[in-house]
Homo-oligomer: A and B are copies of this chain.
Amino acid sequence: MTPYEALEQHFRGINDLAHVFAVLYWDEATMMPLGGGPARANAMAALAGILHERKSAPAVGELLEATRSSADELSVWQQANLHQMQRAWISSTALPHDLVTAMQLAATTCEQTWRACRPSEDWATVLPKLESLFQLQREAAERMGEQQGLSPYDALLDAYEEGLRADFIDDTFADLKAFLPGFLEQVLERQAQRPPLPLPGPFPLDQQERLGRALVRTLGFDFEHGRMDVSHHPFCGGVPDDTRITTRYSDDDFLHALMGSLHETGHALYQQGLPAEWREQPVGDALGMAVHESQSLLMEMQVCRGRAFLNYAAGVVREAFGADAGDPVWSAENLHRHYTRVERGYIRVDADEVTYPLHIILRYEIEKQLFAGQLAPRDLPDAWNEGMQKLLGLSTAGNLKDGIMQDVHWFGGLFGYFPSYTLGAITAAQLFATARTEVAGLSDSIEQGDFAPLVGWLRSKVHGQGRLMTADALVRSVTGQPLGTEAFKSHLQARYLTG
């Protein structure tokens, strides 16, 4: 066995453990009864510790060293795989074992506490858990940054997407901050003249579920290799051969749950479309969180909220709820008005694509201050309120549920993740603009509920590429341009001011 082959074998074992972890995580979020929480937190911490042990095993360092002289003989994919192995080795050896298990334990515990505390806005109970978790996360970020010559926050960003830096985000977000407020005013004024007609509920959950499954399948989700369930906070988890999306239903509104399912399907299609021949190796993984979000947002924002898809979906929706085809309330036009409704609101996950980046900018600016030591967890409710007033003109004072306590991310230890959503949105716009020029009859096929041409293009251009190149290189290679905000702004203008 060559050193490279020995590395592949070692990383196959790591992939097996990552599979195990993905199942545990999904189960914790969707299935686990409340009382199982503490024991589960311990079990997940133990597992995280073993994963870390395997990733940082001295043998890996030796094998990586031994491959250096013969790297030229490897194929392009093997070289990219080796590069990902090196990345895993560097970031894992930056962290001591006890920090990794403590961080996992703190994250699971804090997330469980958040779930219990959010309904009653019990900030006092969750704050100490968040403080412990943040302290461990900061220590980890500092150590990772030191090892790689990066600031702690850049080290976190880099872990979610190789090469991503705060400088780039600063520029991108400054551009959006300059564009969005004025644009938002224009859109609000225009939309005031044509409000959507209210949809008459209630919408029985079993009908919603059947509808969701039907459209998720239309997009191309493979139920032989995946499931769809209910969870507290919708997500896409599992592994490529067993991809699991979740949603949450409410019987007085079906629009959110449905679009949430289609969003997660975008993630799932990416995961199910990762290169089959590299499934067990690091190079076969998804590229990074911004590209992952680009795949969900391409489906949700570029396609499923657009007229072509809604012309198709309106019929499926009417059939699901037994509605009359002639009723304007159930028309594609009215669904489109609902799905492109722009409003200043408190909740990120309910936000339209125009105000969404403002929610992200809020979180990004707070995160940077947290890791620069300018804010502490206890300052978060006030900082949140201040930022929301500045960016969206809304106060969250005394409204923690719809303020700082609305998102799971920080309480689950995901710092540095939020920018991915907006980077994903601009990536989605740029990729989709290219798809429109390259895929013949794209709009027509979508209007007929045929996603094969679009998914085929994504499979070849994005999904099937795994981690062969960086996100930056992929975007340049597919679209011919570095990532920027132009396509996103053009999309917004076309949909909201002229569409």
Contacts and interface: CB of A to CB of B under 8 A. Distances in A.
Contacts of A224: 33-35
Interface string A208-247: 0000000000000011111100000000001111100000
Contacts of A44: 20
A362 to B, nearest CB: 36
Given A35-B242, A36-B225, A36-B242, A43 B20 contact: yes
Q: How many copies does the complex hold?
A: 2
Most chain B beta carbons < 10 A, residue from A24, A43, A44: A43
A19 B35 contact: no
A46 interface: yes
Contacts of A17: 43, 46-47, 50
A398 B432 CA distance: 58
Contacts of A239: 36, 39
Given A224-B34, A239-B36, A241-B36, A20 B20 contact: yes
A249 to B, nearest CB: 17
A76 interface: no
A377 interface: no
Contacts of A32: 242
A38 interface: yes
Contact of A19 (B19, B39, B225, B226): B39
A50 B39 CA distance: 19
Interface string A6-41: 000000110011011001100100011111101110
A86 interface: no
Given A24-B23, A50-B50, A227 B43 contact: no
B23 A226 contact: no
Interface in A227-278: 227, 238-242
Nearest to A26: B27
A353 B46 CA distance: 43
B242 A13 contact: no
Contacts of A47: 16-17, 20
B16 A242 contact: no
Interface size class for chain A?
35 or more
A432 to B, nearest CB: 29
Contact of A242 (B33, B46, B225, B241): B33
Interface string A187-226: 0000000000000000000000000000000000011111
Contact of A35 (B24, B42, B241): B241
A27 B23 contact: yes
Contacts of A24: 20, 23-24
Given A35-B242, A36-B241, A223-B33, A43 B16 contact: yes
A186 B239 CA distance: 57
Contacts of A38: 241
A33 B223 CA distance: 7
A11 to B, nearest CB: 12
A226 B33 contact: yes
Interface string A138-168: 0000000000000000000000000000000
Interface string A407-440: 0000000000000000000000000000000000
A227 B30 CA distance: 12
Contacts of A27: 23, 27
Contact of A227 (B19, B23, B33, B241): B33
A36 B223 CA distance: 10
A467 B242 CA distance: 37
Contacts of A225: 33, 35-36
Contacts of A241: 35-36, 38-40
Contact of A20 (B12, B16, B36, B46): B46
B19 A43 contact: yes
A17 B46 CA distance: 7
A446 to B, nearest CB: 26
6 contacts: A16-B45, A17-B46, A20-B44, A20-B46, A32-B242, A33-B224
Given A19-B39, A19-B42, 13 more contacts: A16-B45, A17-B47, A19-B43, A23-B23, A32-B242, A33-B224, A33-B227, A35-B241, A35-B242, A36-B239, A39-B240, A40-B242, A50-B50
Interface of A: 12-13, 16-17, 19-20, 23-24, 27, 31-36, 38-40, 42-47, 50, 222-227, 238-242, 279
